Structure 1
Amino acid sequence: MPSFRALPPSLLRQGARSKTQYEHDARRIHVPVSQAMVDCAVYCDGNRLPGKYTHSAALRKVHDIETEGRDAFVWIGLHEPDEHQMQAVAEVFGLHELAVEDAVHAHQRPKLERYDKTLFLVLKTVKYVDHESIANARQIVETGEIMLFVGADFVVTVRHGDHGGLAGVRRRLEESPASLKLGPYSVMHAIADHVVDTYLDVTDLIETDIDAMEEDIFSPLAQTEIECIYLLKREVVELRRAVSPLTIDLQRIGTDHHDLINVEIRRYLRDVLDHTIKASERIASFDELLSSLVQAALGKVAMQQNVDMRKISAWVAIAAVPTAMAGIYGMNFDNMPELHWTFGYPAVLTVMAAVCFLLYRTFRRNHWL
């Protein structure tokens, strides 16, 4: 661990900060890029070259291959790099500082930006959180992010979140050299296709939850819990924010940037766009359906409240008869009818019971009880 005196002067000039904070900053400055690197590979003519590379050595290898007249590119994958690690990669690959800042801090909306000859694409990843029932769930959709820097001879992917790993995408591409021969933008297509496929999978699972909730709402004996509908509606809104903006960006890729993306890749991206539109339309239909379910649930709750109030009113009417009679004969007057009659007390109780029984039968016949 570096000592307080061994810290760089730039840190010592920042003001009165704690020794622990200085040492923490020093450790972060010296954390190598390899700590955030998931994989780094050089691909030539669609095949992965053997060996392990650093990000700078991989790019030098690509340049050496290109001088021989062969096509090659490097694909480096990073997981939640800090500012200094990302800056080290940016200096090697010439990434724009604004895009680098977005890649470090994450929490970006899906977007596509171009910086000279480099495309910067932000994708929202989604994951369905398993749960026994919606009533016990606290989260249904978990989101993350994947940022792609795609240039003429490199792909840099930055992933945020514990899901959305790209190892499977890399493995499938390496098993298909013909796809990798199309260049770095084939990697961009494969990642976008993988992310959009997860959108469709998640929408299928959410549709199952909505069907179960719809069945509960329209079941006469089931208890209606509006909170569950609002939870699912909130998750659908979050999913819509992840999917809907991507439709516009994929359309732009298909119509713009012809100087960067060849015709074959644009054809593949149009297929990804079709799947994205399908997912977006399904999510929009979920939102409308949940809004309808909210109205149906509110109507059911109102109906249940009316039934409860009717039952309460019926019991109050029944209870009012003995209450009124007991109140009358409970007054302290000497001259009251049948006050000193031997059978007065049982007679009053009999009248009370008879009237209450008649009222009960009447309310039951009218379905108030």
Structure 2
Amino acid sequence: MSMAGNLRKVTSLGRVGGLRKVARLGRRRARVDLSHPARSPLGSAVVNCVAYRDGVRIPGGRDLVDTVERIRKSDEGFVWLGLHEPTDQEFAGVADLFDLHPLAVEDAVEAHQRPKLERYDETLFAVFKTVCYVEHQELTATSEVVHTGEIMVFVGSDFVITVRHGRHGSLGPLREELEADPRQLAKGPAAVLHAIADHVVDDYVHVTDSVQEDIDAVEADVFAENGARADAGRIYQLKRELLELKRAVVPLARPVQELATRPIRVVDPEIQAYFRDVSDHLIRVTEQIAAFDELLNSILQAHLAQVSVAQNEDMRKITAWAAVIAVPTMVCGVYGMNFDNMPELRWRFGYPIVIGVIAVGCLVLYRGFRRNGWL
């Protein structure tokens, strides 16, 4: 049974003493699918738990506590523990073992946090909002375009703890990429933090590119021949989903900037150069989202103007036809009063002449309105 398999029992105890009794380590299990939609494929909140030295996996000791103590005594390597939506009880033992601050633990368990970066003594706590694009055949007024989740990261001198919330944003592929590059992973927990930040921001780039395709489709519909009949609800839905994306991306700018510029004990200066690259990509995404917002505002205003013009055209047509119909209505109304002494009332040619006058009057009005573009 692997360290991760034992740890799923450990997290339910809520204290270090229980950790020593049941966290028995043994042979490593085969790789599992880490993109499970709900809980961990290992059957608990634990996704994976691996110790590294010089960027390479090392076999575990008798239990998790012994492994951590051995790494701390040798002052080499670190432990990477991955969790998915742990409960208070599941996370209590981990918090005690790594001496995590209660406020950070509360944020990690409860989730629904803004992107931020906080320092608690020797531990760095970072919150990232993950996003994914929801595929759809056709955008409607109720389509979900962007789905968000969260990744909380605890970084110490000899450990990294990742807590993931949401049905996407698996870090399994990222772990494999890092393990394929031992030189980068050997730079310590800060290298893992950078890889997570870079992974999250890269997802932002992919999502914004996909959202741009939806915006282009809506723009084409609005400026088509029958653009006034386009569904305005699609534009509002895109604006709402773009706002969700903005809430995930924009607040992350300050934490990434701090990681790239401010001296932090657990972040090696060499890693800060990598964070500057992440910051550049994040700025690009932020500017792109701001441009999308302005573009959607312009599209919405153009659509409302088209609707207003179409309504004016309809009102002009209705008015023109009402004027044409007013001619026979007036004439027939006059001769329908049934007075005895009305002009030409008993004349033989009175009826055909009245009909002719009505027809000529309607034709003149029709041609006049048609010439002026009202009909």
TM-score (norm 1): 0.85
Instruction: Measure the CA separation in 1 of the matches of 2:127 and 2:265.
Output: 21
Q: What's the counterpart of residue 366 of structure 2?
A: 360
CA deviation after TM superposition for structure 1 residue 59, in Å = 4.5
Q: What's the counterpart of residue 254 of structure 1?
A: 260
CA deviation after TM superposition for structure 1 residue 63, in Å = 2.2
In structure 2, which of residues 184, 190, 193 is the aligned counterpart of residue 188 of structure 1? 193
Q: How does 1:30-45 map to 2 (within 5 A)?
A: 35-45=44-54
Given residue 47 of structure 1, which amino acid in structure 2 is its aligned partner?
V
Q: How does 1:101-120 map to 2 (within 5 A)?
A: 101-120=106-125
Q: Does 1:81 align with 2:108?
A: no
Instruction: Measure the CA separation in 2 of the matches of 1:188 and 1:86.
Output: 20
Given that residues 127 and 152 in structure 2 are in contact (C-alpha distance below 8 angstroms), is that contact kept between their aligned partners in structure 1? yes
Given residue 296 of structure 1, which amino acid in structure 2 is its aligned partner?
A
CA deviation after TM superposition for structure 1 residue 218, in Å = 2.2
Tell me the alpha carbon deviations over residues 5-35 of structure 1, each in whole angstroms, 9 at most, x when there is no partner.
xxxxxxxxxxxxxxxxxxxxxxxxxxxx961
Q: What's the counterpart of residue 248 of structure 2?
A: 242
Q: How does 1:280-319 map to 2 (within 5 A)?
A: 280-319=286-325
In structure 2, which of residues 163, 173, 176 is the aligned counterpart of residue 171 of structure 1? 176
In structure 1, which of residues 204, 207, 224 is the aligned counterpart of residue 212 of structure 2? 207
**Between 101-110 and 205-214, the greater mean CA deviation after superposition:** 205-214
Q: What's the counterpart of residue 143 of structure 2?
A: 138
Tell me the alpha carbon deviations over residues 330-354 of structure 1, each in whole angstroms, 9 at most, x when there is no partner.
1131221222234433433332222
Q: How many pairs does the alignment contain? A: 333
In structure 2, which of residues 63, 69, 77 is the aligned counterpart of residue 72 of structure 1? 77
Instruction: Measure the CA separation in 2 of the matches of 1:59 and 1:153.
Output: 13
Instruction: For residue 361 of structure 2, give the secondary structure of its aligned residue in structure 1.
Output: helix
Instruction: For residue 243 of structure 1, give the secondary structure of its aligned residue in structure 2.
Output: helix
**Between 128-137 and 150-159, the greater mean CA deviation after superposition:** 128-137
Tell me the alpha carbon deviations over residues 24-78 of structure 1, each in whole angstroms, 9 at most, x when there is no partner.
xxxxxxxxx9611111111122112346x99xx33421321443x3622111111
CA deviation after TM superposition for structure 1 residue 271, in Å = 0.7
Given residue 273 of structure 1, which amino acid in structure 2 is its aligned partner?
S
Instruction: Measure the CA separation in 2 of the matches of 1:74 and 1:342.
Output: 112
Given residue 288 of structure 1, which amino acid in structure 2 is its aligned partner?
E
Q: What's the counterpart of residue 19 of structure 2?
A: none
Given that residues 144 and 163 in structure 1 are in contact (C-alpha distance below 8 angstroms), is that contact kept between their aligned partners in structure 2? yes
Q: For residues 75 and 126 of structure 1, do their structure 2 counterparts lie closer, same or farther at Cα, with a shift above 3 Å needed? A: same
CA deviation after TM superposition for structure 1 residue 216, in Å = 2.1
Q: What's the counterpart of residue 271 of structure 2?
A: 265
Instruction: For residue 299 of structure 2, give the secondary structure of its aligned residue in structure 1.
Output: helix
Q: What's the counterpart of residue 156 of structure 1?
A: 161
CA RMSD of aligned residues (A): 1.9
**Between 151-160 and 42-51, the greater mean CA deviation after superposition:** 42-51
Q: For residues 356 and 59 of structure 1, do their structure 2 counterparts lie closer, same or farther at Cα, with a shift above 3 Å needed? A: farther
**Between 271-280 and 333-342, the greater mean CA deviation after superposition:** 333-342
Tell me the alpha carbon deviations over residues 150-175 of structure 1, each in whole angstroms, 9 at most, x when there is no partner.
11111111111101111110111111
Q: Does 1:334 align with 2:340?
A: yes
In structure 1, which of residues 196, 219, 222 is the aligned counterpart of residue 224 of structure 2? 219
Instruction: For residue 258 of structure 2, give the secondary structure of its aligned residue in structure 1.
Output: helix
Instruction: Measure the CA separation in 2 of the matches of 1:137 and 1:61.
Output: 50
Q: Structure 2: where are the runs of 5+ without partners? A: 1-41
Q: For residues 34 and 186 of structure 1, do their structure 2 counterparts lie closer, same or farther at Cα, with a shift above 3 Å needed? A: farther
Identity of aligned residues (%): 54
Instruction: Measure the CA separation in 2 of the matches of 1:131 and 1:342.
Output: 74
